[in-house]
Structure 1
Amino acid sequence: MMNSAHEGLEEQHCHSHSGDEPRKSHHSEKLKQNLSSRLNRIEGQIRGVKAMIEKDTYCDDVLTQIAAAQSALGSVAKLLLEGHLKSCVVERIQAGEEEVIQELLVTVNKLMK
């Protein structure tokens, strides 16, 4: 089990791309394991919600489980956003790629919907 949800973030690095190569982020193994574990739990929550609907579970109970899954997914997004800001965004600004700010604003707007 992880001691901290943020453990391993400092080891994340982004690599610039050239040509048609997609931009990649290289997360530490600890962070990847943390995120993977969280996503596995979320996947289980979603399967549980589906089963609740199939069993005609009371709507309020289903909605509560949906809210829990949304919150868990939001936590994953926050971890990724934190790492992105501390590494990728900083590196790209230092490299003179100020367009990363507009890219970040678009992403944050998507997350806040």
Structure 2
Amino acid sequence: MSVEIAPPAPPHGYAADKDALLKRLRRAEGQVRGVARMVDEDVYCIDILTQVSAATKALETVALQLLEDHLAHCVAEASAQGGPVAQEKLAEASAAIARLVRS
């Protein structure tokens, strides 16, 4: 009896930027913890809103980088293959863009 070994899955489009993305996410995580601390310490609301805005911007930057990597890697590769795979990846990207715009 022979066992077939599946080839390794291709890396995600963000693989090359993984360290930078994780660094940005850790920074955003720290900002969110800071916001919670500010609320706990009854800091002035406008100062808290400023920090919420900074944390939101940090997460938006991560989202845009992931989207850019997805388009350049996953969508481009699927488009080269054509057919239903390409249509699926384009629909996926379109839905992701719509979610980002609505948020």
TM-score interval (norm. to shorter)? 0.7 to 0.9
Q: Which residue of 2 aligns with 1:25?
A: 12
Q: Of 57, 60, 63, which residue of structure 1 is paired with 2:46?
A: 60
| Residue 78 of structure 1, CA deviation | 1.1
Scaled by the length of structure 2, what TM-score is found?
Answer: 0.81
Q: Which residue of 1 aligns with 2:23?
A: 37
Would you say 1:104 and 2:93 are equivalent positions?
Answer: yes
Q: Which residue of 2 aligns with 1:78?
A: 64
Scaled by the length of structure 1, what TM-score is found?
Answer: 0.74
Task: Name the structure with the higher strand share.
Answer: 1
Give the distance between the partners of 1:85 and 1:53, measured in 2 at CA.
38
Give the distance between the partners of 2:51 and 2:63, measured in 1 at CA.
18
| Residue 101 of structure 1, CA deviation | 1.4
Aligned alpha-carbon RMSD (Å): 1.5
Q: Which residue of 2 aligns with 1:21?
A: none
Q: Deviations over 1:56-98 (max 9, x none)?
A: 1111110010000000111111111111111110111112222
In the alignment, structure 1 segments of 5+ residues that lack a partner are 1-13, 16-23
Identity %: 41
Alignment coverage as a number of residue pairs: 90
Larger Rg belongs to: 2
Task: Name the structure with the higher helix share.
Answer: 2
